[in-house]
Amino acid sequence: MIRGHNGLMRADRLLSILLILQTQGRATGRELARRLEVSERTVHRDMEALSAAGVPVYAERGPAGGWRLLEEYRTQLTGLNEDEVLALFALKPPQLLADLGLGRAAENALLKLLAALPASRRREAEHARQRLLIDGSRRDEPVPWLPLLQAAVWEDRRVRLHYPSGGGPPGERVVDALGLVVRGQAWYLVARREGVLRTYRVSRVAHAELLPERFTRPPGFDLERYWRQARSEFQAKLPVYPVLARLEQHAFERFGLVGRWARLEHAEPDGEGWLRARVRFEVEEDAVAWALSLGDRVEVLEPPELRRRVVRELVKALRRVKKSRPRGGSAGSEAT
């Protein structure tokens, strides 16, 4: 949302700086500039303004330096702008919070926060709540061990997991529970085992036991950075089945309905409302299912073996239809 008054924008930014320093203790000028989407020069001017207003901010030099607040200083400013109200009251994923056992606690917290807001902000919160809902339901994956894993993550505790490896039965392993990630319809545990970071799908955990010993988190570990890197590496290892095809524009608009690991790499007009597209699938079966689902609105150009496979499947389907057609029948049954 664009705000027309520079003073209001700067006030929001100064409050954000205070809350960042108060919660994490230290932040470099570069980090603050990145998070606030301003220049480092602007951050320096903001620090001068805070200092002039009596806020005890100071800079430390050296590799571990940055901007800090005096430890005893705490701001009581808790004003929320319209965008922040929207984020809190409209974008709460109810099923994910329920998975963590925090559904009721989240509702109570939001009720308390709502009661503390000025009347104008309460109206904005209700406005957002009635117009936007993110439903993170994922009932197809039971996660009975999630609360125990959450406790391990919160307390830096070790966990004994019984987890399948490959196609075999669950095996036992002791891991350091570092973090939990939810993506799409699945929860994942990020853990360290024998010094190596690994990812476990929570729904596949057959049994989990919280162990008494605690562990020391890896220095510099960042959950979001690790997850992005691990996801990129996983996707890079996936098998690739490239396809070149011609398809109608309307069929192209339905492309999002295709399999999980399909990717559109390139598409350009090919005349008369058709497109020439390069599509990447994970396996041949996904490409066959996609082509068959579009019928005469797609023409597979490459690879040749996929063209032949699609033709064979269509011929078999036609034979089944002819074989199942009832013989004879009354004249009236053929009337149109």
Would you write out the chain's pLDDT as a tens digit for each of its 336 residues? 334 445 556 777 887 888 788 767 788 999 999 888 899 999 999 998 888 888 888 888 877 788 988 877 765 545 666 666 666 666 566 666 667 666 667 666 666 666 666 666 667 776 666 555 555 555 567 889 998 998 999 899 999 999 988 667 889 999 999 999 887 768 899 999 999 999 999 999 999 999 999 999 998 889 988 998 888 887 777 778 899 988 887 766 665 545 556 777 788 888 777 888 888 887 888 888 888 888 888 889 999 999 999 899 888 888 888 877 666 544 443 433
In a domain, 336, yes or no: no
Q: Three-state SS for 244?
A: strand
Q: Three-state SS for 147?
A: helix
In a domain, 134, yes or no: no
- Residues 108, 148: contact at Cβ < 8 Å? no
Same domain, 10 and 64: yes
* Domain interval for residue 214: 146-236
Which residues lie below 8 Å from residue 178, measured CB to CB, with a gap of 6+?
A: 153, 190, 191, 192, 197, 217, 218, 221, 223
Q: Which of 37, 36, 44, 68 is nearest to 55 (CA)?
A: 68
pTM here is 0.50
Same domain, 52 and 24: yes
Same domain, 281 and 256: yes
Q: Which of 187, 178, 186, 182 is nearest to 159 (CA)?
A: 178
In a domain, 1, yes or no: no
Residue ending a domain, among 210, 236, 262, is 236
Q: How many residues does the chain have?
A: 336
First-to-last alpha carbon distance for the chain, in angstroms, is 59
Rounded to the nearest 10 degrees, the angle between the axes of helix 29-36 and helix 6-24 is: 130
In a domain, 334, yes or no: no
Pairing of strands 66-69, 57-60: antiparallel
Number of domains in the chain: 4
**Residue whose pair of structure tokens reads 């005096």 in the numeric block:** 70
